[in-house]
Structure formats: C-alpha cells, structure tokens
Structure 1
Amino acid sequence: MRRRRARGVSRFEWPVRVYWEDTDAGGVVYHAQYLAFMERARSEWVRDLLGDQRAVKSAHGIVFVVRAMQLDFRSPARLDDALTVSVMPTEFRGASLLVNQTVERDGVVLVEARVRVASVDADTFRPAPIPVSLIDTLKNPRNA
C-alpha cells in the first residue's frame, strides 16, 4: 500500500496479484473481477484513513455503498500479473463522493473507472450526510 500526491490529490495504491480464480479459460482477467479488485482498494483506502468500516458504522451510523460506476476497459490483465489498483477522490458532496480508480500493470492503465460512492444511514439505507470530520480526513490524509 502506498499513498502519494498526484496533481494536488492524494492517490492511494493497493497491490493485487492475478490468480487462476480471477481469469477465464484463456488466462485473461474476467471483466467482473476488476470490480472486486477496485472494491478491495477502496476498502483498504477507507481502512487506511478512517479505520475499520465497522468502526465508521458504529461511530457515525453510516455505511458507504457504490451508487454508480463507469468503466473503460483498455487492455487485459493476465494470470500472474502484478497489478496496482489506485483510488483518487475527486469530488465531495454532502452524502456522496466521486473517486477515480485505475488498474495498472507496470504503469500502463488497463482499466479506468469513475465511481460514485454514497453515504447511507446504516439502518435505513437512506442517503445520509458524510460527517465533515470524515470528509476532511479523506481530502487531506495524514502523512500524504
């Protein structure tokens, strides 16, 4: 895991290795598996900055859910590839945030995504504002 600054925005990176279970019969990563790779990276990003997601739920009564996602598949990943999955927040609203994500191999972007993440009440699953303290931490991570 690494965090670095890119164009004034903190970029979180998470390493992923491609295993047999991630591929189709041809040894190419199955398209839906990229969603799992990106979910892991977003979960680790939240864990790195805010702690365990159960702690966020307990302390603030909210959970984060994917509201919408746009994907651009540029090039395939293959069995045994070492990938880097990035998370870069680009927009913060009252009850949602937008993150850009990439899946890269050796610095080459294979998949690009724009992900709208919504904050919802943990009990009702209705939209709920993201506490300002959480937005501040996500915008300005420590040790960035």
Structure 2
Amino acid sequence: MRAQNGVPPFAHRCRIYYEDTDAGGIVYYVNYLKFMERARTERLRNLGFSQHTLAGEGLLFVVHSTEVRYHAPARLDDEIEVSAQVIELNRASLRFRQQVRRVVDDALLCEGQFLVACVRADNLKPRAIPDMLRKAFAEQGGAGRPEAGE
C-alpha cells in the first residue's frame, strides 16, 4: 500500500502469541485494536516523539472514535505488519488509516480508521497539536491540509 504522495505508510511488525488468541488459536478480535495502538505509538517514536515525553509536557493523544472491519483471521505464530498512515491532520486531531496484513502472503486481515484527539493531560480538553509534531506528521504522514475550524 502506498500513500498518494508515494511515501509508503509506516508499518510495525509483530508476531501473534498464544496470549493474543482464543481457544481456537485465532486472534481475539479486540487484540487487533491493541496491535493498531502499538503501531500508532511506534509511528510517533519513529518521528522522534515518545508518549511518555509528550505526557510529561502535558499532552496526551486519546482515541475519539474508530471504525474497524475484519476480513480474515490471524493465527498463532503468524507474523503481521500493522500500518499507521495519517490521512487527515487537523488543529487538534489526526485521522489514521490502518491495516493489519499477514506478512507471509500479504493478506489483509483487518483495517480501520481512528480519529485521535490531542488533549491536555490535566483536564482532557482539546488542545492544538504542537507545531513540531504537526510538521513531522505533515512531512512524513502524507496527510492533507488542515480543515478550517479544526
């Protein structure tokens, strides 16, 4: 999968462990959300920012809403690749498009969109995404321009 600007989306690889699966050896559906959260966190880290440091500066990212579709199961010992592509960058929020694919055959297992809000750590009220972080996402994320009023 390539972004419209030709830059491939960020992807994080991980392995499916026994703890990720149900009794049938299939990944429990809610664990895909965990894998996607990890990919978004690693995306931040890849841009030079850590959740821990941002929280210390009074900034948190919280999931506002999500839409997820499940296509095929991942199973015990599968290696998966989880993408995290910013498709919308607003004043106080980001929209990610994410996919989970099995590495061995590139099968699409799960995909979704996540609206992530930037909030103040002390009161959880919206706040503007810091300029350095906005710039990093805009340059590397392939996101469009901010919308008016956001």
| TM-score normalised over the length of structure 2 | 0.86
- Number of positions where the alignment pairs a residue of Structure 1 with one of Structure 2: 138
1:131 aligns to what?
130
1:17 aligns to what?
15
User: 1:125/1:134 Cα in 2 relative to 1: closer, same or farther (>3 Å)?
Assistant: same
**Aligned partners of 1:141 and 1:103: how far apart in 2?**
20
Please identify which structure carries the higher strand content.
1
Structure 1: which 5+ residue stretches go unaligned?
A: none
Match for 1:55: what amino acid? T
**Aligned partners of 1:29 and 1:97: how far apart in 2?**
27
**Helix, strand or coil at the partner of 2:137:** helix
2:84 counterpart of 1:87: yes
The Cα shift of 1:51 comes to 2.1
The Cα shift of 1:16 comes to 1.2
| TM-score normalised over the length of structure 1 | 0.89
Instruction: Tell me, yes or no, if the aligned pair for 1:85 and 1:103 is still in contact at 8 Å.
Output: yes
RMSD over equivalenced CA pairs, Å: 1.7
- In the alignment, which of 47, 67, 88 is matched to residue 70 of structure 1? 67
1:97 aligns to what?
94
**Aligned partners of 1:28 and 1:77: how far apart in 2?**
6
**Aligned partners of 2:42 and 2:94: how far apart in 1?**
16
Alignment of structure 1 residues 52-63 onto 2, 5 Å: 52-59=50-57, 61-63=58-60
**Aligned partners of 2:59 and 2:50: how far apart in 1?**
13
Structure 2: which 5+ residue stretches go unaligned?
A: 142-150
